[in-house]
Amino acid sequence: MTQQPPLIGRVTRSSTRGFVGAIRAPEPDIPVFGSFCKADAQQGRSSVIGLIYDISVEDDGFTRQIATSPSAKPEEIADAQFNRHVPVEFSAVAVGYLAEDGYRYALPPQPPLSMATIQSMLPGEVRDFTRRTEWFSLVLGAPEIPADELLVAAIRFAAQARPQSERPPFLREAGGRCARLLGRDLVRLETVLGSLSG
Amino acid sequence: MSLDLPQVLPQVNALAEEAARRLENLEQLLRHANDGLSQAGQLERSAILERIARAGEHWPGAIPTLEPLEAAFECPPLPPEFNVVAADGSQVYPDRHSLSLFYLINTGSICVRAGRGTPPETVSRPQVVYEEEDLYGQFDGLIPSAMIDGQRDVAEMAELARLGAASKGKPTLAILDNGLLLWVAHQAGISLSPQVGKLLASYLEHLGELKSADVAVAGFIDRPRNDNVLSLIHLASATQGAGSEESGRRHPWRGLTDRALFSGRLRPFQRSARFQHASPVNQRFRDAGHAVEFFYLCLAQGHIVRVEIPAWVGERPELLGFVHAGLVDQCSTPEGFPYALVRAHELAVVTMEDRQALEDMLAGALLDRGLSASHSRKSQTKQWTGARRRHRL
């Protein structure tokens, strides 16, 4: 049976530069910073590939009551963390899209519409998308996001999606690409390469 | 928004003025009622019971137990280890304008193992009812909403019984978000229809299972509007005279509640004396060995709630004390309402989004079988006009 990519939420707002999704999830299912996801666009004819760069856990009146209560019991705190489905909002920056003829490393022609499903990408999909590294420039050039930290996290995810033997050459190639893109900004380059090798 | 707020504003102001005037009046009435309770406290219990017997079976008051009427009991300590279970239910009534006729009962429950630090066990049980026999049964037309409410109440009690049996051997407090008298039977009064009788029998059976498992059962009523103790004071008051059936039926303090009476008498965490319900349906509970008693509990200065318990809980000091201390403990977070009930409600409630998702699922299932899946024209027009569109992008 073919493995289905796990659903992590639905689009609440979007633009061609990225999209925001929401879900009510217990703690283990909350999306992870730097992970790859995809959302359907153009009535299913394309999928926008996103990197999750911001995750915010929303609260409600009850959560605030428990959090500020001096007498909250361990069971109640465990209940909030493991049972209550906390509303989570996450933002993804677009780093490419899957068209009918394969992956494109550019901003998508149309954003996903609201309520489009957002799925985590399976390791095989991550491997396929990251065979090329043109998406790095979309991350580093995106305004108002923690671009360097995001790129490092995403490269690590892409490396993890590969067999052990393929990881060192992939990381070397990624480092080389970073050097070309950040060659004129040695401080940033040092930070990125330092984080990658750390 | 179709409500014309400028038109409403003067009416709202008049309402607030009336509320302030009524409060002033109630304070005067409260003084009389307090004096009445002190006087009633001096009477022999047998004399009060004699007056109650003369007041007839429709008298809506409170029957004293062996505890003194004016007594206030301090909160006892909790057992070192215990469980708290709670259940709540919600429903979707059948709608002839909907895609298909059905109704839904959703029961939410929680079991908190106090002192262990582990996450509580939570359950949500939806039941979709669609068989013709269940939708129409012996009724004239569709099943009445009150019967669906009754089925929901039975489902809640059944869930508590299941959790109670699973917790056997450890002190367990079971909480319901309401009184213990089955409301549909309470409303029916003395003569019950066979359908209501069947629900009542099932409800009492589950209550019996809780009794067998030694579970301390309690119905929790926040902001109660009851006036049973006021009726008792009126009936027992010396000025009221012989207490004929007619004169004893209603107390003269309209608008006053037992809650107001006890808010000046109980300190935080104290409970009042226990009383028994004089409702006719309580006779059926009594016959089955589950007569319902109640007391008032002070959770904070002026915050009085009503707690209903079976007499077999009230008569066993360890169970009664456990209900008292357990509810005080449960109401510490969030302040003033049991934690387990908040969560049971959250697990049971069917939101508008849930309902929409259910309708979408139903539409898909009907279309798969080549059946029409459309709302009535009336329902469609309400959907068109009820939701305003916003363009955010």
Q: What is the pLDDT of residues B81-136, one digit of tens each?
A: 999 999 999 999 998 888 889 999 999 999 999 988 899 999 999 999 999 989 98
Other residues' Cβ atoms within 10 Å of the Cβ of residue A164: 8
Residue A1 — very low, low, confident or very high, per pLDDT cuts 50/70/90?
A: low
State whether B120 and A13 contact (CB < 8 Å).
Answer: no
For residue B194, what pLDDT is reported? 87
Q: Which residue of A has its CA nearest to B346?
A: A84
Beta bridge partner(s), residue A40:
A47
Residue B243 — very low, low, confident or very high, per pLDDT cuts 50/70/90?
A: very low
Q: Which residue of B has its CA nearest to A80?
A: B119
Higher confidence at residue B146 or residue A24? Answer: B146
d(CA B45, CA B69): 9
* CATH class assigned to B72-348: alpha beta
pLDDT tens profile B127-179: 999 999 899 877 778 899 999 999 999 999 999 999 999 998 899 999 999 99
The reply to whether B114 touches chain A by the CB within 8 Å rule is: yes
**Residue appearing with tokens 């790095």:** A136
pLDDT tens profile A169-187: 999 999 999 999 999 899 9
Q: Which residue of B has its CA nearest to A13?
A: B393
d(CA B293, CA A191): 71
Which residues from B are below 8 Å from A74, CB to CB? Answer: 116-117
For residue B387, what pLDDT is reported? 59
CA of B51, closest CA in chain A: separation in Å? 47
CA of B329, closest CA in chain A: separation in Å? 9
The reply to whether B120 touches chain A by the CB within 8 Å rule is: yes
For residue B245, what pLDDT is reported? 54
- Chain B segment 136-165 residues within 8 A of A by beta carbon are none
State whether A13 and B393 contact (CB < 8 Å).
Answer: yes
Domain boundaries, chain B: 72-348, 352-382
How many residues appear in chain B? 393
Q: Apex CA B382: angle with CA B381 and CA B385, to 5°?
A: 85
Q: Is the pLDDT of residue B392 over 90?
A: no
Which residues from A are below 8 Å from B333, CB to CB? Answer: 65-66, 69, 71-73, 76
Beta bridge partner(s), residue A29:
none
DSSP string, A118-185: EEEPPHHHHHHHTTS-THHHHHHT-TTS-HHHHHHHHHHHHHHTS-GGGHHHHHHHHHHHHHHHSTT-
d(CA A178, CA B356): 48
Q: Residues B183-202: what's their mean pLDDT? A: 85
Residue B72 near residue B268 (C-beta atoms within 8 A): no
For residue B327, what pLDDT is reported? 98
pLDDT tens profile A78-100: 898 888 877 789 999 999 999 99
pLDDT tens profile B246-291: 555 678 888 899 999 999 999 999 999 999 999 888 999 999 999 9
d(CA B66, CA B47): 13
Residue A193 near residue A175 (C-beta atoms within 8 A): yes
Nearest to B118 among A15, A75, A84 (CB): A75
d(CA A177, CA A159): 15
At B336, list the tokens: 């003033």
Name which of A88, A85, A95, A80 is nearest A35 in CA terms. Answer: A95
State whether B117 and A74 contact (CB < 8 Å).
Answer: yes
Q: Is the pLDDT of residue B393 over 50?
A: no
Task: Return the residue in B111, B331, B333 with the most chain A beta carbons within 10 A, the one to mutate for interface testing.
Answer: B333
- Say which residues have a Cβ less than 8 Å from residue B375's Cβ, sequence separation at least 6: B97, B98, B99, B383
CA of B325, closest CA in chain A: separation in Å? 15
The reply to whether B289 touches chain A by the CB within 8 Å rule is: no
Which residues from B are below 8 Å from A14, CB to CB? Answer: 393
d(CA A82, CA A71): 19
For residue A119, what pLDDT is reported? 94
CA of B177, closest CA in chain A: separation in Å? 17
Which of A86-90, B132-136, B372-376, B383-387 is the most confident on average? B132-136
Residue B309 — very low, low, confident or very high, per pLDDT cuts 50/70/90?
A: very high
Mean pLDDT of chain B: 90
Name which of A90, A84, A85 is nearest A14 in CA terms. Answer: A90
The reply to whether B353 touches chain A by the CB within 8 Å rule is: no
Mean pLDDT of chain A: 91
